[in-house]
Copies of this chain bind each other. A is one copy, B any other.
Amino acid sequence: MKCRKCEKEAVVKLRHYNLALCQEHFFEFFEGRVEKAIKKFKMFARGSKILVAVSGGKDSVTLWYVLVKLGYSADGLFIKLGREEEVRPAYDKVRKLSEDLGRKLLVLDATEYLYGFSTFEAARILRRPTCSYCGMVKRYLMNLAAYENGYDVLATGHNLDDEASVLLGNILHWQADYIMRSYPVLEKTHEKLVKKVKPLVLNYEDDIKLYAKLRGLDFLESACPFAIGATSKLYKRLLNELEREQAGVKLSFYLNFLREKKEIFRVKESRDALKLNSCKICGYPTTGEICTFCRSRELLEKGIKDRL
């Protein structure tokens, strides 16, 4: 099988694009998809100060690598969600990547905000589902780090499979608000809210893994041990099954949704532009008076005292 773009032997066959490519042209194609997403969704410009949230997994590692390779000014952010020894393997890989790329790495220790507890321990104390609690902490701290360090935009490694499966889940349960808010860019709608973007949104998860492997990027293979059995995985599995019979459907499902959502769905202004206040404790955005992060910190403090 020959590469579609040159005479070399193809090393990859991308079923969803019906495209066979040699390694060199696969790299070019893959990076082109990232550049395309950045332009198409007006994520950021050449001179923007970008902060990439890097967990050490294939997506964020690839994202940081590609953004720097494309010539963007992108630093990394690593959040320690667990104790030192738990996060070491991921942290080591991310620090090494930072050195290889010659880009700054910000490090934030979540436990310092959670009275010494890891997010997993804090979730247990608060009796909150681990994944949703950890996600809330991550979102809060990512935004805080980007804001306090003067970045224009925060980039995360969410890929096509992530976005399409979340959309599918929201549709199956008709979460109208979430359906309408589904977009690879979240604009700055509050003084202390940094614009958020997902530049890998046009890339299939399988392709990202392939790219990372072929580039020899060092990433953490193991998924978060707490995410086993997560509902998002169920929707991903369904979409993968569908994709096997209808190659390309994942991309067309997601892209056509974005293209037609204003045509198909009623846009409720009140839903679209959530009124954001400033948290009375920390000043960061919230829809209420006190943000979820500060409220959960209060409860955590109380929970700790009650235990004594």
Chain A interfacial positions (CB closer than 8 Å to B): 171-174, 176, 179, 231, 234, 237-238, 241-242, 245-246, 249, 252-253, 256-257, 260, 263-266
Contacts and interface: CB of A to CB of B under 8 A. Distances in A.
Contact of A176 (B176, B241, B253, B263): B263
Given A264-B176, A266-B265, A234 B245 contact: yes
Given A264-B265, A266-B263, A242 B252 contact: no
Nearest to A261: B174
Contacts of A173: 249, 252-253, 256
A36 to B, nearest CB: 21
B174 A171 contact: no
17 contacts: A172-B249, A173-B249, A173-B252, A173-B253, A174-B253, A174-B256, A176-B260, A231-B246, A234-B242, A234-B245, A234-B246, A237-B241, A241-B241, A264-B265, A264-B266, A265-B266, A266-B266
A241 B242 contact: no
A266 B261 CA distance: 10
Nearest to A255: B174
Contacts of A256: 173-174
A249 B171 CA distance: 11
Contact of A174 (B238, B242, B246, B260): B260
A241 B231 CA distance: 12
A229 to B, nearest CB: 9
A249 B234 CA distance: 13
A171 B164 CA distance: 12
Given A263-B266, A264-B265, A174 B257 contact: yes
A260 B174 CA distance: 8
A242 B235 CA distance: 8
A241 to B, nearest CB: 6
Nearest to A264: B176
Contacts of A257: 174
Given A176-B264, A238-B241, 16 more contacts: A171-B171, A172-B242, A173-B256, A174-B257, A174-B260, A176-B260, A176-B263, A231-B245, A231-B246, A234-B241, A234-B242, A237-B241, A238-B238, A241-B241, A264-B265, A265-B265
